[in-house]
Amino acid sequence: MRQALTRPRAEDAAPRLIRPAPYAPPSPTARVAITWRRQPLLLCAALALWAWAAWFMFTARAVTLTTTPTEATLRVDHGFAPHVGRHWLLRPGPHRVEAHAPGHAPLVDTLLIGDDAQQAHALTLTRLPGHLRLRLAPDNVVGEVSIDGHAAGAAPGLRREVAAGTRTVEISVPRYRPWTATVDVEGKGIEQTLDVVLQPAWADYQLASQPEDASLSIDGIAVGHTPLRGELLEGRRVLRLEKSGYQPWQQALEVKAGVSVQLGTVVLREAEGEVALVSTPPGASVTVDDAYVGRTPLTLSLAPGKAHRLAVLAEGYVPLTRELEVASAAHESLTLTLEPELAELEFDTTPQDAELLVDGVARGVATQRLALPTHAHEITIRARGYATWQTRIVPRKDVLKRFRVQLRTIAEAGAAPQAPIAAAAPRAPTTGAAPSTAFQQVADGEALTTSLGQVLRLFTGGRARLGAPRGDARRRADEVERTADLRRPFYLAAREVSNGEFRRFLATHHVAPQGGVTLDDDAQPVANVDWAMAAQYCNWLSRRDGLPLFYQISYGTVLGVNPAATGYRLPTEAEWEWAAGSDANGARRAHPWGDAPTPPPRSGNYADGSAASLLGEVLRGYDDGFAAAAPVGSFAPDARGLYDLGGNVAEWVHDYYDAAPAGAQPDDPLGPPAGDAHVIKGASWAQGAPVALRAAFRAAGTRGRNDVGFRLARYAR
């Protein structure tokens, strides 16, 4: 029997490995079917991309970006920002831009693109700082460095982190001229070397003295003992030699770098001896070797080793002379008593019981003979029921003057003016010269002339502004700003009193030279007179011109004033500052020439360059043609016709000095009622400091100076 074949069961069959059929690409018909099914998606994507590209191209702007430096790399927006080279397509609005270049600080900024179709933007990167190595010649010096005006350390050495660009480098080294240069700092961390050659700022000098071993100081700094050689820094230098027992020697030099100074041998003079001179009465005039030196009490400086002729003179006293000799550097004192020079006066008075007063002191009945010193005296004769009689008398030696005086009753005196006194001999003026009997003062509304020919100009005054405003940087503590009304018309002399005019009063007046330059010519302004002597001159001229005396003076001492008098006097400080500190229209001005800080050429005599060898501080670049005092009226007058209110000599004014004057001033102020010193106004030939040239400047004085004089004033009524 044939066995039947059967398919084994799966669970009974051994496992078999089934291999996947190899990939067979779809047939063209199948591909077409697949593509047709995907086409809507691709088409949509293509259309969207095309639309976005069209939108971007339509809304984007052509932007050209340039950089400094040109090699910088750029990156925009960290995203889609199509560009070709430096040309970019960017939509309007803000875009983040980054730029990088070697040696420069990275630039990160926001760039705002506008609506213009084509745009250009420039980007500048900042160079990193550089370094400057400074080398100095000579190489043994050290100085200070500044860059663009800011301190930058010391030189020589390396100055790090110097900002790139054009820089001004300055180097200051003691004893060398300042060095300045403009340097282009490359930056980028690069080190540059700057070689600096310094120029010396000194000159060599040699100095010897006789005797040797004198101490030398330069600008107040001691440098050694003679003989010496060394170096002087360029500029103005003051050299001073001192040795015990000898007078100091001093000289100012203008030193130029590289030009040696040969001073040779300085012969020192033995130190002068000093004599403190006191006289009875005080205020006597003193001459030494026929040269006027002042009024007692004073200290005389006399050359040693020789005899000096001393003369002491006082009005009404016998002149005293003697010889003096002092040792070098000695300090002595001398007291001299002058004997009165007497002359006799005889009075015959009606009524017989009338009383006589001499200089305010009762001397008994008026009918008597008495001896008085031969200086001016105020004589008063009075009696009850009679008008008082007064006059001024100067007795003469060996001349008996007789006076017959008949007092008038009070009723008679009111009906008619009192007759002049009758005297046996005419009264003589104090100078011994008779006054001009033909003299008359005639005021023409603008000026009058004294018997000596001095012109005084009439002013109605106005508001005087004294002192300096608070905002004035040059204001001094005693220049309190204040105002005063000048209501009384007054006269002010056009010129300062000259030596020649003053010698009509005191023939022995003398002014010592300054550094070999004379101050004693008749045409030069009077100087070396104290305030009291100026007041005496005013009274002397008032008597000569028949005017009531303004000053009350006894034995050379000013006891008071008569404010109502129209006699000559010194200007008040308010009058002087009104004239110097305001123009012809009354407008305030800082200086007699105006508000400019320095005087115009030929506007006055100040301490100019020609006086540098005589003085300390001078006006550089100003030349008035006079090393010391000029003849009065040498320069053009101001608009009021007044000369030398600025310069020539400073001027005494009437007021006592007060360091803190009151702000509220009365009308026509005469100043404080008392004081230890008087006010001096104005600059002089010896002053060039800006503070002293102002109209507000004031100084205090008690004694005469060789640069202080005065001018006349008087009330018109």
Cis before residue 281, ω within 30 degrees of 0? yes
pLDDT averaged over every residue in the chain: 85
Confidence of residue 488 (pLDDT cuts 50, 70, 90): very high
557 neighbors 532 (Cβ within 8 angstroms): yes
The answer to whether residue 51 scores a pLDDT higher than 90 is no
Mean pLDDT of 661-671: 86
Pick the closest to residue 486 from 587, 576, 562 (CA basis): 576
d(CA 177, CA 175): 7
Buried b (16+ CB within 10 A) or exposed e, 686-700: bbbeebbbbbbbbbe
For residue 27, give the DSSP letter. P
Max mean pLDDT range (519-528, 547-556, 624-633):
519-528
Whether residue 207 is found in the same domain as residue 176: no
The answer to whether residue 483 scores a pLDDT higher than 60 is yes
Confidence of residue 20 (pLDDT cuts 50, 70, 90): low
Mean pLDDT of 660-665: 82
Max mean pLDDT range (48-57, 217-226, 664-673):
217-226
The pair of structure tokens assigned to 650 is 């400073």
Whether residue 325 is found in the same domain as residue 362: no
Q: Which of 121-130, 307-316, 427-436, 633-642 has the lowest mean pLDDT?
A: 427-436
Q: Kindly report the CATH number assigned to the domain that includes residue 380.
A: 2.60.40.1120
Judge whether 181 lies within some domain.
yes
Residue type, 617: E
Judge whether 239 lies within some domain.
yes
Mean pLDDT of 547-576: 90
User: What is the DSSP code string of 640-682?
Assistant: TS---SSSSSEEEEEEEP-SS--SB--SS----S--SSEEEES
Domain boundary among 310, 337, 364: 337
Whether residue 83 is found in the same domain as residue 159: no
The pair of structure tokens assigned to 505 is 């009063």
The whole-number pLDDT of residue 9 equals: 53
> For the chain, first and last CA: distance in Å?
189
pTM summary value: 0.44
| 47: Cβ contacts below 8 Å, ≥ 6 apart | none
Judge whether 3 lies within some domain.
no
Confidence of residue 413 (pLDDT cuts 50, 70, 90): low
The answer to whether residue 416 scores a pLDDT higher than 50 is no
**Which residues is 691 bridged to in the sheet?**
none
> What's the Cα-to-Cα distance from 613 to each of 160, 269, 441, 627, 631, rounded to whole Å?
50, 20, 45, 9, 21
Whether residue 556 is found in the same domain as residue 667: yes
CA-based R_g, the chain, Å: 50
Q: Hunting for tokens 């008949």 — which residue is that?
A: 406
Whether residue 621 is found in the same domain as residue 714: yes
Whether residue 401 is found in the same domain as residue 475: no
Whether residue 143 is found in the same domain as residue 244: no
Whether residue 170 is found in the same domain as residue 245: no
Q: Which helix (H) or strand (E) holds 389?
A: strand 389-393
Dihedral, 212, 218, 221, 223 alpha carbons, nearest 10: -40
538 neighbors 570 (Cβ within 8 angstroms): yes
Whether residue 638 is found in the same domain as residue 682: yes
Residue type, 548: P
The domain tally of the chain equals 6
The answer to whether residue 711 scores a pLDDT higher than 90 is yes
Whether residue 633 is found in the same domain as residue 532: yes
The pair of structure tokens assigned to 131 is 């370094």
- Span 291-344, pLDDT tens digits: 778 889 989 988 888 899 999 988 778 889 999 899 888 889 999 999 888 889
Judge whether 593 lies within some domain.
no
- Span 210-225, pLDDT tens digits: 999 999 999 999 999 9
The whole-number pLDDT of residue 474 equals: 85
d(CA 282, CA 709): 22
Q: Kindly report the CATH number assigned to the domain that includes residue 226.
A: 2.60.40.10
Judge whether 29 lies within some domain.
no
Q: Which helix (H) or strand (E) holds 267?
A: strand 261-267
The whole-number pLDDT of residue 400 equals: 86
Judge whether 677 lies within some domain.
yes
Dihedral, 87, 92, 94, 99 alpha carbons, nearest 10: 0
Confidence of residue 421 (pLDDT cuts 50, 70, 90): very low
Whether residue 255 is found in the same domain as residue 210: yes
For residue 565, give the DSSP letter. -
The answer to whether residue 566 scores a pLDDT higher than 50 is yes
Greater confidence (48 vs 499) lies with 499
The pair of structure tokens assigned to 376 is 């001016």
d(CA 625, CA 628): 9
Domain boundary among 73, 104, 124: 124
The pair of structure tokens assigned to 541 is 């001229």
Judge whether 616 lies within some domain.
yes
Full residue range of the structural domain in which residue 111 is found: 64-124
d(CA 63, CA 373): 115
Judge whether 48 lies within some domain.
no
The whole-number pLDDT of residue 622 equals: 86
The whole-number pLDDT of residue 435 equals: 35
Beta strand segments in 394-512, E? 401-406, 422-423, 447-449, 455-459, 463-466, 482-485, 490-493
d(CA 218, CA 238): 6
| 58: Cβ contacts below 8 Å, ≥ 6 apart | none
d(CA 335, CA 322): 12
User: What is the DSSP code string of 339-387?
Assistant: PB-EEEEEEEEESTT-EEEETTEEEEESSEEEEEESS-EEEEEE-TTB-
The whole-number pLDDT of residue 23 equals: 59
Domain boundary among 238, 267, 296: 267
Whether residue 494 is found in the same domain as residue 634: yes
Confidence of residue 677 (pLDDT cuts 50, 70, 90): very high
The whole-number pLDDT of residue 26 equals: 63
Buried b (16+ CB within 10 A) or exposed e, 58-97: eebbebebebeeeebebebeeeebeeeeeebbbeeeebeb
- Span 180-195, pLDDT tens digits: 999 999 988 899 999 9
